[in-house]
């Protein structure tokens, strides 16, 4: 019956006259006609929204128009799980998560296995101990886990002296009513719950890097509008140009723009990396986890996007998951993972709620979204305001369809599914 419905829609010339039927068909699992026709359907749907509402989410007033600088691609697996998706070619981490989930672990436990493998291996020097020294030379840890079934989140931020970030995050989720613990209090909590510490999180390499940076006048750094501008602190506030100066286009205005542009000069692959991982377990439950030691030479106390739900990662079993990496200070202003993981048509859904369409229709749209478009849109929303930002997201829907999008750098993400002999790495060009 379902198949007949799909087939009749497929054969029908008036395909998109009835997008509701089509969306229902999609959500009932007829994926075989999906690619070509799905696109047509998605193009149609926005017409159901007032144009003013939908255009911003589509990246321009004229419908589907993506800037060339943002690329995404999408890969369809056969819709079976378990499945592991992770930022970057962190092969060992993905294998560890895969072994766990394949042997029957829950999505949460597998995500913890995967991310903590990266912490142990100090992936790229930006996960776990021994990397990304702050201005005082100290390494601190940000991590998060989120359960897409219960929507529970546990996270630690700027955690000192404890190397097991993602395990600490899981302890916050499982043994407290809280979501986020920070700083030394997070360390005390983690140790009281049995994690090893206090540990010196610095390494000879991180100290080396830090000493060189100090010798270089503490450049580059993350300060702006301070004096001294070109040497180590202590820093003092410099007069900040007022909004009026900016509209008059004075020199101070162009200085501010200069500061924004120079930001990108000290952001790169070796400076901003996060493992962000999504796992779908054998029951179809989804979890995400992240772990990072943050930005190198950050101002002590800085917390990036890593432990922020909706920014570095987000998950909802009913829809899918998202993971992000990049310039966290910028990305956390946009919550780029929220939209892909709750459904690309968020703005449209809001409208539909107000009108007389049923909730089920909105749900169908949520389920019918394309991960590729969701990932692209998340990146484009940031690029419109910060054309120089560096970042990437992956999105995976609950059926295992995954995609990535990036800006300012080439992004790679890793996948392990039932149909792969080992981890496969997908490359997304900026
Ligand atoms: C921590 O380890 C680093 C690198 O091995 C070392 O230089 C530093 O002195 C240590 N800090 C303390 C307080 O022991």
207 in contact with ligand 1, CB cutoff 6 A = yes
Residue 161 pLDDT exceeds 90? yes
Strands 411-417 and 83-87: antiparallel
325 annotated ligand-binding residue: yes
Query: What pLDDT sits at residue 244?
Result: 55
Residue of 202, 204, 205 to mutate, ligand 1, most atoms within 8 A of C-beta: 202
Q: Which residues are catalytic?
A: 274
Query: What pLDDT sits at residue 261?
Result: 47
199 in contact with ligand 1, CB cutoff 6 A = no
Residues 318/398, Cβ–Cβ less than 8 Å: yes
Residue 384 pLDDT exceeds 80? yes
304 annotated ligand-binding residue: yes
Ligand 1 center to residue 202 CA distance, Å? 6
314-341 average pLDDT score? 90
Largest distance between two CA atoms of the chain? 73
142 annotated ligand-binding residue: no
Query: What pLDDT sits at residue 425?
Result: 96
pTM: 0.76
Domains of the chain, start order? 5-53 (no CATH), 83-202+267-428 (3.60.20.30)
Residue of 161, 200, 210, 212 to mutate, ligand 1, most atoms within 8 A of C-beta: 200
Query: What pLDDT sits at residue 430?
Result: 87
| C-alpha dihedral, 133 to 135 to 136 to 137, nearest 10° | 20
For residue 94, what pLDDT band results from cuts at 50, 70 and 90? very high
200 in contact with ligand 1, CB cutoff 6 A = yes
Average pLDDT, the chain: 76
Higher-confidence residue of 365 and 411: namely 411
Question: 44-53, 74-83, 230-239, 299-308: which range is least confident on average?
Answer: 44-53
Nearest CA to ligand 1 atom 2: 202
Residue 407 pLDDT exceeds 90? yes
Residue 424 pLDDT exceeds 50? yes
Query: What pLDDT sits at residue 267?
Result: 54
Nearest CA to ligand 1 atom 11: 200
For residue 353, what pLDDT band results from cuts at 50, 70 and 90? very low
Query: What pLDDT sits at residue 163?
Result: 97
Query: What pLDDT sits at residue 256?
Result: 42
Whole-angstrom Cα Rg for the chain: 23
Residue 54 pLDDT exceeds 60? no
- Angle, CA 223 vertex, CA 219 and CA 224 arms, to 5°: 115
Residue 428 pLDDT exceeds 90? yes
150-176 average pLDDT score? 98
Ligand 1 center to residue 137 CA distance, Å? 10
136 in contact with ligand 1, CB cutoff 6 A = no
> What is the percentage of the chain residues whose pLDDT exceeds 90?
58
Question: 70-79, 183-192, 275-284: which range is least confident on average?
Answer: 70-79
357-364 average pLDDT score? 33
32-57 average pLDDT score? 28
Ligand 1 center to residue 298 CA distance, Å? 19
- The atom number, within ligand 1, closest to the CA of 203 reads 4
Query: What pLDDT sits at residue 76?
Result: 55
Higher-confidence residue of 259 and 242: namely 242
The burial of 43, by beta-carbon neighbours within 10 Å (0-12 exposed, 13-18 middle, 19 or more buried), is given as middle
Question: 13-22, 104-113, 263-272, 413-422: which range is least confident on average?
Answer: 13-22
Question: 10-19, 76-85, 142-151, 244-253: which range is least confident on average?
Answer: 10-19
- The atom number, within ligand 1, closest to the CA of 206 reads 4
- The atom number, within ligand 1, closest to the CA of 200 reads 1
Nearest CA to ligand 1 atom 13: 200
Higher-confidence residue of 200 and 28: namely 200
202 in contact with ligand 1, CB cutoff 6 A = yes
Joined tokens for residue 84: 């592991």
Nearest CA to ligand 1 atom 8: 202
Ligand 1 center to residue 138 CA distance, Å? 9
Residue 149 pLDDT exceeds 90? yes
């Amino acid at each position: 019956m379902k198949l007949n419905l799909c087939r009749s829609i497929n054969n029908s010339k008036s395909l998109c006259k009835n997008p509701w039927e089509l969306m229902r068909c999609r959500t009932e699992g007829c994926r075989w006609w999906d690619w070509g026709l799905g696109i047509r359907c998605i193009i149609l749907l926005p017409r159901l929204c007032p144009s003013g509402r939908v255009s911003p989410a589509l990246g321009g007033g004229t419908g589907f128009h993506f800037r060339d600088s943002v690329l995404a691609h999408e890969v369809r697996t056969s819709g079976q799980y378990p499945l592991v998706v992770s930022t970057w070619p962190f092969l060992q981490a993905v294998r560890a998560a895969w072994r766990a989930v394949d042997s029957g672990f829950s999505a949460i436990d597998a995500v913890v296995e995967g991310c903590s493998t990266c912490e142990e291996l100090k992936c790229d020097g930006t996960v776990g101990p021994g990397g990304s020294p702050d201005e005082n030379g100290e390494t601190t840890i940000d991590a998060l886990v989120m359960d897409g079934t219960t929507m529970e989140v546990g996270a630690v931020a700027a955690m000192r002296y404890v190397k097991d970030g993602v395990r600490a995050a899981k302890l916050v989720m499982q043994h407290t009513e809280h979501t986020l613990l920070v700083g030394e209090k997070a360390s005390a909590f983690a140790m009281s719950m049995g994690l090893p510490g206090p540990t010196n999180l610095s390494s000879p390499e991180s100290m080396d890097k830090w000493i060189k940076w100090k010798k270089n006048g503490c450049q580059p750094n993350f300060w702006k509008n301070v004096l001294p501008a070109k040497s180590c602190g202590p820093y003092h506030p410099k007069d900040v140009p007022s909004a009026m100066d900016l509209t008059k286009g004075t020199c101070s205005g162009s200085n501010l723009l200069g500061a924004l542009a120079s930001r990108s000069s000290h952001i790169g692959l070796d400076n901003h990396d996060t493992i962000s991982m999504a796992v779908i377990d054998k029951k179809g439950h989804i979890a995400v986890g992240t772990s990072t030691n943050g930005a190198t030479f950050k101002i002590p106390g800085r917390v990036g996007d890593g432990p922020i739900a909706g920014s570095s990662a987000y998950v909802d079993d009913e829809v899918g998951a998202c993971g992000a990496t990049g310039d966290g200070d910028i990305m956390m202003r946009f919550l780029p993972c929220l939209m892909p993981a709750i459904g690309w048509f968020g703005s449209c859904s809001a409208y539909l709620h107000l009108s007389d369409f049923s909730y089920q229709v909105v749900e169908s749209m949520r389920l019918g979204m394309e991960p590729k478009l969701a990932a692209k849109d998340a990146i484009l929303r940031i690029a419109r305001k910060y054309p120089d930002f560096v970042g990437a997201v992956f999105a995976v829907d609950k059926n295992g369809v995954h995609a990535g999008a990036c800006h300012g750098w080439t992004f790679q993400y890793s996948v392990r599914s039932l149909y792969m002999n080992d981890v496969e790495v997908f490359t997304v060009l900026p």
